[in-house]
Structure 1
Amino acid sequence: MASHSVVLLFFIYISLFTSLCFADDPFVSYEFEVSYITASPLGVPQQVIAINGRFPGPTINVTTNNNVVVNVRNKLDEDLLMTWAGIHQRRSSWQDGVLGTNCPIPSKWNWTYQFQVKDQIGSFFYFPSTNFQRASGGYGGFIINNRPIIPIPFATPDGDITIMIGDWFTRNHTALRRALNGGKDLGMPDGVLINGKGPYKYNSTLVPDGIDYETIDVHPGKTYRLRVSNVGVSTSLNFRIQNHNLLLAETEGSYTVQQNYTSLDIHVGQSYSFLVTMDQNASTDYYIVASARFVNESLWQRVTGVAILHYSNSKGKASGPLPDPPNDQYDKTFSMNQARSIRWNVSASGARPNPQGSFRYGSINVTDIYMLKNKPPVTINGKRRTTLSGISFVNPTTPIRLADQFKLKGVYKLDFPHRPITGPPKMESSIINGTYRGFMEIILQNNDTKMQSYHLDGYGFFVVGMDYGEWTENSRGTYNKWDGVARTTTQVFPGAWTAILIFLDNVGVWNLRTENLDTWYLGQETYIKIVNPEASNKTEFPMPDNALFCGALSKMQKPQDISSATSIMGNQSKLLSSLVMMICAVISIFY
């Protein structure tokens, strides 16, 4: 009788774990130890921020609707927050990793992020959002794959390659921060890195000996998906591969109309997927180039990253001059026309079975309009600051979302103006009051002389128009209301405007910022607050149990047991995941 009970109990457990094995939304866990290492990407030893001893950090690779758990151990000597740029943390700005919504992770502490990549696909990256730390590294790729039942709109590539490009300084982030605090410009970067490495020695005058460069190995005749992100400080980069076409297929969560480019301008914070076929002969290797844009090229020659594309049957090293960048010194519309040519593939499925274009954003009535104008840096109260619409944002010591949770007054102002203020610029903790399920139009007007990129956390927005000059009401006649691409970061050319449309269906407090680190650090940002009038856990998750407290609520923070290397949540998640995977492997033998 006892043996029958044991058998019955065994089958009950097997049934339970079978349901876990075939559950729709599995958990995927990562451990991140963020620390300093010494590296010499440009031949000069310097302090670099690494994750698990690696620079760049590991690529997070998940599938639509996965629950992602990232336990972050802060081994830096200062506070840290990790943000997941472009990942729409549905219903949970608590996990966003920016100062307006989260208290920073103190030095020597750990904190566990948990969020779901709900109804999302695409190519993104993560990075540290505080203290100018991204200028020293700490970044890595973030891939969200289609579920197996949702087809991708192209043949399955033979390989998937993540490429991080970005300008780089041999001064670390603390030195760059001091320069900005002292009212100085950062000046010209010292180079461009590709996957954390310096340039291949294509020019003996510009590139010294002993620099480690990136090599990407490929096989002839194969097609690879290259996911390229500009993770730099402030420089737009032109990306190209010698003698190879770049077939653009996706950007920041949207499949695009597939078009060939010989090169593409990738602005700070932006990510693209290219399909590249290895259709050249193997007489030599080929150059991969990322070079500075919208600058005096003769002065900025050193701000060029060069890697090597190596065919498995290559006969020799890459040779000759680098492939030319766009020749548009006197044609400022070339890059803008290239940006306008990027269109949404409205017939392809995204994260859901229905086509991407079924949203029909062009037929929705706009309920709120904001004109956000930036200008060159100004002096406010004796400090050099940057502004949006005349306001330089000051992060409150108590995060906005935490202040709301505990009904604290006077932490911030819900009064960000619809139009730029006419008086002198000011420093305020002023944010935008968004309407839940409203449809907002934002016009980004760049009255500076430098390119800016703007990003909105928690959302993808529709890029519907851009042009030079001042935006007017008549500019709406030029909007693309059918297949403007949906993305998370858009460029705004100097002396020009870009218009975006956003459906405000994600409750929370979400950061709207420039991705250029120097102008972001000096105040060019704000937040959009979206509240569901009917409080519900279905539209916003409750405050997590492991929430950190700071500012006016710092007395609520309990000491952390420093001897504990990982959080209880992280250990439990790893244990459960390991157990489920082991049992699933056994079950799969019988199914």
Structure 2
Amino acid sequence: MRRPSSFHLRLLCLLSCLLLQLLDGSLGEDPFAYFDWEVSYVSASPLGVKQKVIGINRQFPGPILNVTTNWNVVVNIRNNLDEPFLVTWSGLQQRKNSWQDGVLGTNCPIPAGWNWTYEFQVKDQIGSFFYLPSVGFQRAGGGYGGIIINNRDVIPLPFGTPDGDITIFISDWYTKDYKDLKKTLEDGNDLGNPDGILFNGLGPYRYNDSIPDGIIYERINVEPGRTYRFRVHNVGISTSLNFRIQNHNLLLVETEGSYTVQQNYTNMDLHVGQSYSFLVTMDQNASTDYYIVASARFADASTRERLIGVAILHYSNSQGPASGPLPDGPDEGDTYFSMNQARSIRWNVSASAARPNPQGSFRYGQITVTDVYVLLNRPAELINGQLRTTLNGISYIAPSTPLKLAQLFNVPGVYKLDFPNHMMNRPAKVDTSIINGTYKGFMEIIFQNNDTTVQSYHLDGYAFFVVGMDFGTWTENSRGIYNKWDGVARSTVQVFPGAWTAILVYLDNVGIWNLRAGNLDSWYLGQEVYISVVNPEDSNKTELPVPDNAIFCGALSSLQKEQSHKFRFSKAPSMTCSSKMILFWLLLAWFGIWS
């Protein structure tokens, strides 16, 4: 046997140490997933009119962020727009980390031409979510995409493994540029009706002569006899949409991170910002295509006829196009149908989610409520000569210094912890007033909708329990109809006109979290508030520190470091599996040479 030289021995030692570090990192830590996104304008013609939309990596919609629960996610954003930009992760419960929430209350926007890197952990979550722009009216121009958080291998799905996974974005759409739509609102005018309904950023299939020639439509390719998971998101501006597939049942299995009691539906209403997962089995005659439809709800007859999006379900051995009339949805004005459908969605309390314990072990109905907020929404009104929307008579205005930075650096006068828990007998006003939440308190929030249209509301950082909804005005006696056992846990809920919806939320996630209208026009005009949740004790349950790449603006602009916009991962990317295998075989070869 040849004796290795001192150089070879040092090289062997180095390779061995590298292998040990790789093994330790792969077995002892949660994995890191890295994404590099360029945000820019791209040209599209979804309804036959060429327009400028917001793309990510030149895709509209943007790429899907597909990760597994407990993974660490690092997303570098390069802002190549001509204005500041932020992306928020709708529905992700970033534990103790509202610094990464991507809304103006917690982050300075990324200036045009800058990079900024988000880093967060998808801790103890599974399910279907999406990301979206949060600055100005940018969501009306695109910039959205899907988020899939998969179960770890040790946690079984409460249904058979699907044969495929399909993400669908449905949305109302205007052919006007999003900046023009924003100006329309700022000038005190209504947006008017949308120009169409999109499927995955594409226009409708030409199911009749009312659809112009040349429209590019979405086609979903499937194999006969197989079952697919359809993740459907309403990423629109303000229109509730009914989703259905011709001759196919929709087996509801999950919504916004919660497995549901499995029920079949022929159609499902999705309100703005909501997400659902359905299992759909390809059990029909495979010799033809089928219509997939998303149509506007609660609109007048002429509007309903125009606001129909159509995609195609294409069996691999199909011999012909879809035929016959579009599948019927519910009576378009029947809010009772939609409310009863929403009430039928229940939490699957026997299924495990991100952890191997049953979800039902959280007995929310047995926890004492510590705070009650009745949030009243009214139609937009003039305040100081400007059209504004309000909650409890307050129209939120974002300060130039984000709330989170102002809180950390004790900047005076940025906000007030005095948001009222009910409608006050005083004129409506524009203010930066936020809710002082009690850490580990159990908050009851009632959304009372005195407007004439369906509104939806979203809470960052949490999943809340939807415990009740009904028409009329909420009173304390309304608690008698609450579902205190298996109300579904989700992050976005609808409130019908002239009705109320009640939710319960356990405030165990420290940070400053955004509660906003899902309807983009209502959000932009002031219908939002933040909830500040502070742990009074000095412990490891306090929020994570300010990230070292934080952008400073407003009263703290002088703290901005020149280099902070440069792209830099906070941790070196982990070696790929193939790289590890190469290193492993190099070591084996080494031992073979000297043995």
* TM bucket normalised to smaller: over 0.9
**C-alpha distance in structure 2 between counterparts of 1:182 and 1:200, whole Å:** 35
1:561, CA displacement in angstroms? 8.4
Are residue 389 (structure 1) and residue 386 (structure 2) matched? no
Match of 1:283 in 2: 287
Deviations, residues 473-495 of structure 1 (Å, cap 9, x unaligned): 00000000000000000000111
Asked whether the 8 Å contact 2:550–2:564 carries over to 1, the reply is no
1:328, CA displacement in angstroms? 5.7
Cα distance change on mapping 1:431 and 1:447 into 2, 3 Å:
same
Query: Structure 1, unaligned stretches of length 5 or more?
Result: none
Asked whether the 8 Å contact 1:248–1:261 carries over to 2, the reply is yes
Q: Secondary structure at the match of 1:520?
A: helix
* Residue of 118, 127, 131 corresponding to 1:122: 127
Match of 2:59 in 1: 54
**C-alpha distance in structure 1 between counterparts of 2:372 and 2:585, whole Å:** 54
Match of 2:591 in 1: none
Q: Secondary structure at the match of 2:40?
A: strand
Match of 1:568 in 2: 568
Which moved further from structure 2: 104-113 or 550-559? 550-559
Query: Structure 2, unaligned stretches of length 5 or more?
Result: 589-595
Are residue 106 (structure 1) and residue 111 (structure 2) matched? yes
Match of 1:451 in 2: 454
1:217, CA displacement in angstroms? 0.1
The residue correspondences of 1:153-192 to structure 2 (distance < 5 A) are 153-192=158-197
Match of 1:528 in 2: 531
Q: Secondary structure at the match of 1:37?
A: strand
**C-alpha distance in structure 2 between counterparts of 1:423 and 1:274, whole Å:** 46
Q: Secondary structure at the match of 2:365?
A: helix
Cα distance change on mapping 1:132 and 1:589 into 2, 3 Å:
farther
The residue correspondences of 1:105-254 to structure 2 (distance < 5 A) are 105-205=110-210, 207-254=211-258
Asked whether the 8 Å contact 1:18–1:584 carries over to 2, the reply is no
Match of 2:558 in 1: 555
**C-alpha distance in structure 2 between counterparts of 1:61 and 1:316, whole Å:** 34
Match of 1:363 in 2: 366
1:554, CA displacement in angstroms? 1.1
Which moved further from structure 2: 297-306 or 506-515? 297-306
**C-alpha distance in structure 1 between counterparts of 2:176 and 2:245, whole Å:** 29
Asked whether the 8 Å contact 2:373–2:422 carries over to 1, the reply is yes
**C-alpha distance in structure 2 between counterparts of 1:537 and 1:550, whole Å:** 28
Asked whether the 8 Å contact 1:17–1:580 carries over to 2, the reply is no
Match of 1:432 in 2: 435
Cα distance change on mapping 1:350 and 1:588 into 2, 3 Å:
farther
Asked whether the 8 Å contact 1:21–1:580 carries over to 2, the reply is no
Asked whether the 8 Å contact 1:17–1:584 carries over to 2, the reply is no
* Residue of 293, 302, 317 corresponding to 2:297: 293
Q: Secondary structure at the match of 2:303?
A: coil
Are residue 326 (structure 1) and residue 330 (structure 2) matched? yes
Q: Secondary structure at the match of 1:53?
A: coil
**C-alpha distance in structure 2 between counterparts of 1:425 and 1:403, whole Å:** 25
Deviations, residues 247-289 of structure 1 (Å, cap 9, x unaligned): 0000000000000000000000000000000000123100000
Cα distance change on mapping 1:332 and 1:33 into 2, 3 Å:
same
What TM-score do you get using the length of structure 2 for normalisation? 0.96
Asked whether the 8 Å contact 2:15–2:587 carries over to 1, the reply is no
1:586, CA displacement in angstroms? 5.1
Q: Secondary structure at the match of 1:22?
A: helix
Deviations, residues 188-225 of structure 1 (Å, cap 9, x unaligned): 000010000000001112x1011100000000000000
**C-alpha distance in structure 1 between counterparts of 2:585 and 2:314, whole Å:** 39
Letter in 1 for 2:170: I
**C-alpha distance in structure 2 between counterparts of 1:285 and 1:585, whole Å:** 47
1:579, CA displacement in angstroms? 5.5
**C-alpha distance in structure 2 between counterparts of 1:288 and 1:537, whole Å:** 49
Match of 1:375 in 2: 378
Are residue 29 (structure 1) and residue 34 (structure 2) matched? yes
1:375, CA displacement in angstroms? 0.3
Match of 2:49 in 1: 44
Match of 1:487 in 2: 490
Match of 2:593 in 1: none
**C-alpha distance in structure 2 between counterparts of 1:22 and 1:280, whole Å:** 45
Q: Secondary structure at the match of 1:527?
A: strand
**C-alpha distance in structure 2 between counterparts of 1:336 and 1:211, whole Å:** 34
Match of 2:574 in 1: 577
* Residue of 77, 86, 104 corresponding to 2:82: 77
Deviations, residues 480-534 of structure 1 (Å, cap 9, x unaligned): 0000000000000111000000000000000000110000000000000000101
Cα distance change on mapping 1:275 and 1:548 into 2, 3 Å:
same
1:587, CA displacement in angstroms? 4.6
1:319, CA displacement in angstroms? 1.2
1:306, CA displacement in angstroms? 0.4
Match of 1:540 in 2: 543
Q: Report how many residues are paired.
A: 583
Cα distance change on mapping 1:435 and 1:191 into 2, 3 Å:
same
1:9, CA displacement in angstroms? 3.8
Which moved further from structure 2: 16-25 or 95-104? 16-25
Asked whether the 8 Å contact 2:374–2:446 carries over to 1, the reply is yes
Q: Secondary structure at the match of 1:335?
A: helix
Asked whether the 8 Å contact 1:328–1:334 carries over to 2, the reply is no
Letter in 2 for 1:295: A
Which moved further from structure 2: 296-305 or 486-495? 296-305
Asked whether the 8 Å contact 2:297–2:304 carries over to 1, the reply is no
Which moved further from structure 2: 457-466 or 418-427? 418-427
1:406, CA displacement in angstroms? 0.7
Letter in 1 for 2:25: L
Deviations, residues 53-102 of structure 1 (Å, cap 9, x unaligned): 10000000000000000000000001100000001111100000000111
Letter in 2 for 1:101: T
Asked whether the 8 Å contact 2:437–2:533 carries over to 1, the reply is yes
**C-alpha distance in structure 1 between counterparts of 2:339 and 2:13, whole Å:** 68
* Residue of 283, 307, 315 corresponding to 1:303: 307
Deviations, residues 108-132 of structure 1 (Å, cap 9, x unaligned): 1110000000000010000110111
**C-alpha distance in structure 1 between counterparts of 2:195 and 2:576, whole Å:** 48
Asked whether the 8 Å contact 1:21–1:584 carries over to 2, the reply is no
**C-alpha distance in structure 2 between counterparts of 1:69 and 1:537, whole Å:** 23
**C-alpha distance in structure 1 between counterparts of 2:320 and 2:28, whole Å:** 50
* Residue of 66, 71, 88 corresponding to 2:71: 66
What TM-score do you get using the length of structure 1 for normalisation? 0.96
1:578, CA displacement in angstroms? 4.0
Match of 2:262 in 1: 258
Match of 2:520 in 1: 517
Letter in 2 for 1:270: Q
